[in-house]
Structure 1
Amino acid sequence: MRTHFIVHESFEAPGAYEDWVRARGYEISYSRVHEGDALPVGADGIDLLIVMGGPQRPSTTTQECPHFDADAEKALIVACIEADKAVIGICLGSQLVGEALGAAFDSSPNTEIGSFPVSLTAAGRRHPFLVGLGDTFDTGHWHNDMPGLTEDAVVLATSEGCPRQIVAYSRYVYGFQCHMEFTPACIEALIEHSEKDLADLADRPYVQQPDQLRANDYTAMNERLATFLDRLAADYASR
């Protein structure tokens, strides 16, 4: 499973996604755009494209953030989808996937930062990559927006704070608004970058502060993510 990551910022690390790729011995490559790396010119050499999160929005321009080219990333996403590759977008990445398919991103009803439960929808409970993982389970969150929905999109998971947590756009294309990849190292990097913002949001119902963020146990959700990815990879390989 040749996996390519688009990483927007040093503090938005691939975490458990990268751990999974390395543990399975799959090929791995990166476009760390915050370091000036170029995007792949097309889908050749990619089986799974993983587009990470970031503080940007899909509407952020290159004038506002020179290293973030939303149109170029959406073009690569479309190229991978048209080549029948697997694509997973996380947070900002999920919004870019929706936009690449013609569904505009939207503001989430609530800012969510921390560990809060998501609940699988009826479609999520039946989904072959999620079945048996539990109707409700805790995941990481760090967002203000959420992905748009195409006509064919199916919402697989929701939370009290956001109605679009996991979205299936097709059998191999997914948007994860939630962060199932968080590890303690990921959380430390995010806290270091966002400590003032966290203090400013202290009165929000779905925002945890640094001590709680550090105390959360992210192990179980990492294991669920690995199961999802294993099932996706096996299905993709069996075509």
Structure 2
Amino acid sequence: MRVHFIVHEAFEAPGAYERWAHDRRHTVTHSRLHAGGRLPATAEGIDLLVVMGGPQSPATTTAECPHFDAARERELIADCAAAGGAVIGVCLGAQLLGEALGAPCRPSPEPEIGSFPVTLAEAGLRHPLLRGFDASFDTGHWHHDMPGLTDDATVLAASRGCPRQIVAYGRFLYGFQCHMEFDADLVEGLIASAEEELAALADRPFVQSPDQLRSGDHRGANQLLELFLDRLAADHAAA
């Protein structure tokens, strides 16, 4: 499988997504936009596009962040979807995926920063790519917004702070508002990049302190993510 990652910031790296791709010996390429990398011109040569998160929003302009072109990313996502490719959007990437399919992102009812449980909806419990997942499991979060919903989108999982944590937009199109890819190094980088944000949100119910963030154990979520990705890759290959 040819997997391409769009990375907006060094501290929002692919983590467990990329470890899975290398462990399964998939072909891996990157657009490290924060380091001057460029987006692919088209979806040609991409079987799975993974669009990572970042401090930007889909409304962020190139004047505000010169290395982030939301319109071009939406075009590439739409191109991949139209070509029958698989697309996973993570956090900001999930919001861009929804927008590429015609559904503007929305503010989340609550910001979530930390490790909190998500709960599978009935559709999630029945979904073949989530088969065998616990009805509720802990995973990472770091967001203020959430993806929009198209008419045929299906919410597979929600949390107490956000009703759209995992969204299926199609057979091969998934938005993850949550961060199942987190590990200790990623969390440490995020803490270093967000000292002011964490201080400003310290009184919010779903925002953890730096010490609490560091104590999170993301190995279970990583394992579930690998299972999901294995099933997605197998389904895409079969099609």
Superposed CA offset, 1:180-217 (max 9, x none): 00000100100111122112211010001111111111
Runs of 4+, deviation exceeding 6 Å: none
Equivalent residue number for residue 111 of structure 2: 111
Q: 2 CA distance for matches of 1:109 and 1:228?
A: 27
Question: Which residue pairs with 2:178 in the alignment?
Answer: 178
The residue aligned with 1:210 is 210
AA paired with 2:52? M
C-alpha distance in 2 between matches for 1:55 and 1:147: 15
Identity %: 64
- Kindly state the Cα deviation for residue 9 of structure 1 after the two structures are TM-superposed: 0.5
1:187-226 equivalences in 2 (<5 Å): 187-226=187-226
**Which AA in structure 2 matches 1:26?**
H
Q: What residue number does 2:23 align with?
A: 23
3-state DSSP of counterpart to 2:128: coil
Alignment of structure 1 residues 70-89 onto 2, 5 Å: 70-89=70-89
For 1:33 and 1:116, how far apart are their aligned partners in 2? 29
1:130 aligns with 2:145: no
In the alignment, what sits opposite 1:229? 229
Separation in structure 2 between the aligned mates of residue 70 and residue 196 of structure 1, nearest angstrom: 25
Query: Aligned letter for 1:65?
Result: C
Residue type at the aligned position of 2:123: A
- Give structure 2 stretches of 5+ with no counterpart: none
Gaps of 5+ in 1: none
What is the count of residue pairs matched by the alignment? 239
TM-score (structure 1 length as normaliser): 0.99
In 1, Cα distance between equivalents of 2:49 and 2:209: 32
* Counterpart AA for 1:56: Q
CA distance in 2 between counterparts of 1:82 and 1:56 reads 25
What's the Cα RMSD here? 0.5
The answer to whether structure 1 residue 58 and structure 2 residue 37 are counterparts is: no
What's the TM-score once normalised by structure 2's chain length?
Answer: 0.99
Q: Provide the residue aligned with 1:11 in structure 2.
A: 11
